[in-house]
Amino acid sequence: MKSIAVSGKGGAGKTALTAMMTKVIIGKGTPGKILLVDADPAGGLAPALGLSVEITIGNIREEIIRSVRKGGRKTKAQIAGAVDYKIMEALAELESFSFLAVGRTETDGCFCPVNDLLRDAIEILLKDFDLVIIDGEAGLEQINRKVMRSVDSLIIVTDPSHRGKRTAAGIKDIVETQRLMKSDQMALVMNRIKGAVGLGEEAAREVGLKLAGCIPEDENITRYDSMGKPLLELPEDSPGVVAVQGILENLRIN
């Protein structure tokens, strides 16, 4: 199983990149089963793919905490069996890919063991897929706690803003020093480039990462987003989609 996680500053274009990677990979007819995980509590990937989510991992987490609070040994045994049922129920299985949303956490408190419990169940599920793409949030905690602790490729997305690059450098630092997430390769994607050639290389040097590629400002993406149209339906020759093809080739993902 190959795995890719996408991280970066909020609004940098993680979800658009994830959706376009999915489009390119599916379009190439890559054999195997693909799982997309929306690990951003904001839950933007589902609409970008044209899906509506009924059950999230967050919902299951709440249900577990509620059930355990009710207490009783019987409940423990029942929950142990029920976790797989609920995860399977939360999995949206489509023709080209499957989808799982992490969703929001509503109950205050850490409840770390719940995350362990859910990650155990998710890890069993992941084994059945050939490719897992995770759309994360700026921090990697959601992915680490609720989905998986190591990925093959970690793609950090930034826009040309100073804040975007600082966030990218911060994520790189967290991965390298705090070992929050293990990855075989880590690379930068520069999004919303306008004209200036070399801006991507410059940003990559600044952040200290390999440049996977640049995505130009793409009017189609802006238009599709504003219309609520799935990015999977972007034209093949849309500049963003063409750029993502190159990024996947550079990373030897596809």
Positions touching other proteins (CB under 8 A) are 33, 64-65, 68-69, 71, 73-74, 76-86, 88-89, 93, 95, 98, 109-114, 116-117, 120-121, 124-125, 127-128
- Specify whether the CB–CB gap between 3 and 125 falls below 8 A: no
Q: How many CB atoms lie within 10 A of CB 183?
A: 17
CB of 210 to other proteins, least distance (A): 34
Nearest to 142 by CA among 64, 85, 57, 207: 57
The nearer residue to other proteins, 106 or 176, going by C-beta atoms, is: 106
Partner residues linked to 154 by β-bridges: 5, 186
CB of 248 to other proteins, least distance (A): 23
What tokens appear for 20 in the block?
Answer: 């376009």
CB of 98 to other proteins, least distance (A): 7
Partner residues linked to 37 by β-bridges: 100, 134
The nearer residue to other proteins, 112 or 197, going by C-beta atoms, is: 112
The nearer residue to other proteins, 70 or 252, going by C-beta atoms, is: 70
Supply φ then ψ for residue 62, to 5 degrees. Answer: -60, -40
The nearer residue to other proteins, 42 or 124, going by C-beta atoms, is: 124
The nearer residue to other proteins, 79 or 242, going by C-beta atoms, is: 79
CB of 120 to other proteins, least distance (A): 6
CB of 68 to other proteins, least distance (A): 5
Q: How many CB atoms lie within 10 A of CB 252?
A: 9
- Specify whether the CB–CB gap between 142 and 39 falls below 8 A: yes
